[in-house]
Amino acid sequence: MMKRVSALLAILFTAFAIGTAAQADTNDNLGFMEWDAVAAEEAVRNGERVVINTWATWCPFCKAQRRALSSLLKSDPETYGDVKVFAVDIDEPDTPSRIGSSSVSKTTLIFFVGGREIEAYKGQDTAEMAALLTAGL
């Protein structure tokens, strides 16, 4: 009887952990906005700090990159509270083929500061992301 209870608890904890990990990567939990081309273009045109996050749900690197960016932004709300992150799931049918100078077929973070594209960044280093977000300020 104890083995059955233990096995059942193990299954429940595993299911909870999988569900929690999946929920952690949602745009809402990360503080990202769903892709809106008009809003993103307007924010860039207004000189706001914008990051376009192109990603895929099946990509572990993408998820790690998203968590790193979210962690950076949440680490210092005074410095990064105005940054707008628009997430583009590259597997969605209405995904644009290009954003700025970058092809959307590859996962990346595209940084815009002061109305201009700074870089299409493919890494996960939060110090490098911070430098890109303050470029030209």
pLDDT in tens, 11-29: 434 444 444 444 457 888 9
Angle at CA 58, nearest 5°, toward 22 and 106?
130
User: Which of 25, 12, 87, 95 lies closest to 55, judged by CA?
Assistant: 87
* pLDDT tens for each residue of 28-63: 899 999 999 999 999 999 999 999 999 998 999 999
Q: Give the full edge-to-edge strand order of the sheet including 84-89.
A: 33-34, 84-89, 50-55, 108-113, 116-121
* pLDDT tens for each residue of 99-115: 887 777 777 899 999 99
Q: Identify the residue whose tokens are 């749900």.
A: 57
Q: What are phi and psi of 4, to 5 degrees?
A: -65, -45
Q: What is the pTM of this model?
A: 0.80
